[in-house]
Structure formats: C-alpha cells, structure tokens
Amino acid sequence: MSDYVLNVNGAKLKVSALADETLLSVLRNRLDLTGTKYGCGEGECGACTVLMDGAAVHACQTLVADAVGKQITTIEGLEQNGKLTAVQQAFLDVGAFQCAYCTSGMIMRATVLLHELPNPTEAQIRTRMNGNICRCGTYPRIVQAVQQASHSMAKGGAR
Ligand code: FES
Ligand code: FES
C-alpha cells in the first residue's frame, strides 16, 4: 500500500491504496464516493465517468497515481449549496433514467459536452454521448435532458 493525496470535489483527501488500484476503486471503496458506478471495468460503458481537470475520463481506466495533482470532480461534487447544476436538474425534470445506473456517468459526460459546446445540435449530443451506454435504453430522454440543460444555461446562466 502507498499513500496518495487526491483533490476530490475541492477537498484534499489522503488515501492508502495499492499501486495498481484504479481511481474508480479508490473513490468507491476507500473514499465512499459511490455515485460513480462500476459497469464494465474496461472503458466501454461510461458508467465510471468523472472529471479530471475538467475533462471526462473513465475512472476504471485511470490509476490512482495518475490522479495525483489533478482536480477530480465526481457526481457528488456538482451540486453546490443545495443547488443542482442545470444538467442534474434537467435529468430529474425529464426523467432521463429508469434504473439510473448510467446516470451519474451520463451527467458527467453531458457536463463536459455543454462546457465545450453550449448549444449542441441533437446529432452532436448523440455523437458526444456515444461512449456512455444506457442498458435501459433511455437515450431519447437523455438527449432531451441535455437539450433542456443547454436552454436553461443559455437563459438563466445556470451552471
Ligand atoms: S466501468 Fe468504466 S467504462 Fe465501464
Ligand atoms: S437508466 Fe438504467 S442503465 Fe441507464
């Protein structure tokens, strides 16, 4: 075991982990941040998507050592002062989930998408969200939620 200091959701957290342990394992099993999900474990489903220095990464494919010195944001870190982000609110409003296993990864991916492309077309949403899989097939509502978040961010300056 080695000690690492991670910056997660704005807090510096000390954690002991194995050298070959993934960021996903550390978040879920050592830091109790279970909003990030384990799906395939192979970089294919997007359930484990988190932000690292603002970019979407697969936590299951990221070694804990590679996360040191980076700003990591998980689903738990999006809401601030009790206020959901526009993307979170839109997923709730539209009901863009059934079992919700994919939802945190979808929200993290959509957050990056709207940061880079504030007014995406439907085709751009589908392309950018393509690496995130929803086994319940709620894709039409996920697209709708991203569109709603885009509109509310444009209107009210919501995050
Ligand atoms: S669990 Fe990481 S991409 Fe599927
Ligand atoms: S809502 Fe069930 S996997 Fe997407």
Domain ranges of the chain: 2-76, 86-156
Residue 130 in this model has a pLDDT that exceeds 90: yes
pLDDT tier at 158, thresholds 50, 70, 90: low
Q: So what's the pLDDT on residue 157?
A: 61
- Encode pLDDT of 71-100 as tens digits: 999 999 999 999 999 999 999 999 999 999
Q: For the whole prediction, is pTM greater than 0.85? A: yes
| Ligand 1 probe mutation, 42, 129, 133, 135, most atoms within 8 A of CB | 42
The domain 2-76: what is its CATH number? 3.10.20.30
C-alpha–C-alpha distance, residues 103 and 97, integer Å: 7
Which residues, including other chains, have CB under 8 Å from residue 100's CB and lie 6 or more apart?
none
Q: Which residues pair with 151 in a beta bridge?
A: none
Does the domain at 86-156 match CATH 3.40.50.720? Answer given as no
Average pLDDT, the chain: 97
Same-fold call for 2-76 versus 86-156? no
83 lines ligand 2 (CB under 6 A): no
